[in-house]
């Protein structure tokens, strides 16, 4: 819980992933004061367990790739420490001080010497039987100053800056009622200091291991992409109407599915997530895919799966996308950048039309949407420079909308159209 040394040993990758995902989920809920909604696996979050350590140190490594994701994570880790300190039993608290004392003595980074010394002073002070009995007793109240101790001021500059501690000849006087905020500040300082020193090494470790790199990309994307939500209600019955408001990439997938009754794996994955985020609930999603996959496939579809033969598998995979099976990850729909970069193979029917279609093919799409020749020319010019801006102009032209948008994700496109019609 006060993480000083990373764990050793071997662990399967999928468990590491589960530790990380569950931890991040819990940290976010805690930050939003919704921790009671946590539905993941608590065994990965038990204080001081191997899983708890693995989750913390792996996340620390994965978020080191960008300052934004690092700050996002560290704020929440600090909050988790505060939350845990507020709920410790006396026995656990005693063990915590013992662990901090033991681990700090073995900690040998000279850059963090003053933090190490302060941790040793603090834990040794509170392990004194009279002090420990006092802090767990009823007489120890908020503002209690019966058992003060001192730490060097450079170890807790944030508390000095906020005038939370009194200065005395280069030392801060810490009253016994202040132990939690001092411990929290030392925790934050120690992790931040290690990041400042080892940032490049951490980033190289992630970059050189494709498994870590993939996990890190997913995490930073989920951390840095602001959540936008649609209030629409797409059902298996109204989807043909709603698809008129989809961006060209998703409208194309809808039309392919209607025509061939099948989609390749990644096209199905992206399109299902898009529908989920647009507001299609689980039952309607199952009904929609069942309708199509129950029909005979066309020979050029490349997929021969039938709903009747693999119903359980289909339902499981849809529930999985809704975060109800497996690691219970709530996957988000792809943004434009993900669609631009996707290269899942020759059978893939998806992609951004502004990137993958040539001018003649695009003109066919524009003509089918009755777009003026002038706008068509502008769209063709824009698509080479900025596909998102071309998509925004397409949105204007097909919806009689005057607002200028640079589309960042298919979901954003759909929400925008819904707001302005
Ligand atoms: Fe889809 Fe984005 Fe391309 Fe628009 S710009 S078609 S939303 S991928």
**357 CA → ligand 1 middle, Å:** 12
Contact 274, 410 (CB under 8 A): yes
Query: Residue whose CA is closest, atom 2 of ligand 1?
Result: 336
Q: Is 221 exposed, middle or buried (0-12, 13-18, 19+ CB in 10 A)?
A: middle
Q: Taking each helix axis as running N to C, give the angle between helix 410-420 and helix 387-399, from 0 to 180 degrees, rounded to the nearest 10.
A: 30
pLDDT per position in the chain (421 positions), as tens?
A: 889 888 888 999 889 989 998 999 899 889 888 888 888 888 999 988 999 999 999 999 999 988 888 988 999 999 999 999 999 999 999 999 999 999 998 888 888 889 999 999 999 999 999 999 998 998 888 888 888 889 999 888 888 888 888 888 889 999 989 899 999 999 999 999 999 998 899 999 998 988 888 888 878 777 766 566 677 789 999 999 999 999 999 999 999 999 999 998 889 999 999 999 999 999 999 999 999 999 987 766 566 778 888 899 999 999 988 888 876 677 788 889 889 887 777 788 889 999 988 888 888 888 888 788 888 889 988 887 889 999 999 998 888 777 778 898 999 999 999 887 6
The vertex-255 CA angle with 250 and 257, nearest 5°, equals 95
Ligand 1 pocket list (CB less than 6 A): 247-249, 336, 339, 352-354, 387-388, 391, 407, 410, 413
pLDDT of residue 301: 58
Stated as kind and residue range, the H or E segment containing 267 is helix 265-278
Instruction: For residue 339, give the ligand 1 atom closest to its CA.
Output: 8
Q: Which residues of 326-338 are buried (b: 16+ CB within 10 A; e: fewer)?
A: eebbebbbbbbee
Q: Ligand 1 mean position to 24 CA, how many Å? A: 29
Strand, helix or coil for residue 111: helix
How far apart are alpha carbons 60 and 63 in whole angstroms?
Answer: 6
- What pLDDT, on the 0 to 100 scale, is given for residue 182? 93
Give Cα separations from 280 to 2, 238, 248, 285, 332 (angstroms).
43, 10, 19, 6, 13
Residue nearest to atom 4 of ligand 1 (CA): 391
pLDDT reported for residue 126: 92
Is the distance from CB of 219 to CB of 60 less than 8 angstroms? no
Residue 413 CA, closest ligand 1 atom number: 7
């Amino acid at each position: 819980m006060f993480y000083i040394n990373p764990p050793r040993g071997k662990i399967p990758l999928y468990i590491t992933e589960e530790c990380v995902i569950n931890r991040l989920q819990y940290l976010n809920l805690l930050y939003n004061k919704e921790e009671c909604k946590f539905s993941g696996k608590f065994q990965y979050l038990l204080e001081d367990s191997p899983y708890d350590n693995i989750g913390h140190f792996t996340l620390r490594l994965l978020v080191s790739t960008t300052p934004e994701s690092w700050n996002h994570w560290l704020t929440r880790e600090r909050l988790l420490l505060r939350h845990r300190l507020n709920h410790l039993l006396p026995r656990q608290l005693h063990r915590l001080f013992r662990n901090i004392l033991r681990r700090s003595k073995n900690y040998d980074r000279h850059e963090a010497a003053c933090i190490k010394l302060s941790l040793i002073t603090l834990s040794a002070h509170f392990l004194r039987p009279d002090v420990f009995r006092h802090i767990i007793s009823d007489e120890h109240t908020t503002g209690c100053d019966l058992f003060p101790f001192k730490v060097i001021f450079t170890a807790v500059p944030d508390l000095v800056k906020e005038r939370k501690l009194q200065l005395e000849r280069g030392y801060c006087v810490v009253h016994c009622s202040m132990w939690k905020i001092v411990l929290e500040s030392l925790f934050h300082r120690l992790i931040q200091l290690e990041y400042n020193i080892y940032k490049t090494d951490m980033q190289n470790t992630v970059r050189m291991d494709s498994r870590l790199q993939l996990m890190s990309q997913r995490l930073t994307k989920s951390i840095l992409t602001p959540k936008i939500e649609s209030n629409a209600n797409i059902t298996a019955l109204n989807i043909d109407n709603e698809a008129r408001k989809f961006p060209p990439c998703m409208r194309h997938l809808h039309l392919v599915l209607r025509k061939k009754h099948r989609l390749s794996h990644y096209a199905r994955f992206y399109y299902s997530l898009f529908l989920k985020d647009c507001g299609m609930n689980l039952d309607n999603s199952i009904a929609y895919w069942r309708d199509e996959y129950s029909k005979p496939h066309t020979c050029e579809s490349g997929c021969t799966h039938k709903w009747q033969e693999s119903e359980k598998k289909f339902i499981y995979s849809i529930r999985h996308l809704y975060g109800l099976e497996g690691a219970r990850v709530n996957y988000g729909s792809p943004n434009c950048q993900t669609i631009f970069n996707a290269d899942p193979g020759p059978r893939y029917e998806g992609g951004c039309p502004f990137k993958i279609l040539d001018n003649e093919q695009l003109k066919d799409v524009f003509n089918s949407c009755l777009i003026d020749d002038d706008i068509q020319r502008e769209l063709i010019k824009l698509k080479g420079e900025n596909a998102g801006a071309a998509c925004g102009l397409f949105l204007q032209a097909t919806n009689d909308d005057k607002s200028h948008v640079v589309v960042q994700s298919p979901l954003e496109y759909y929400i925008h159209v819904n707001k302005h019609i």
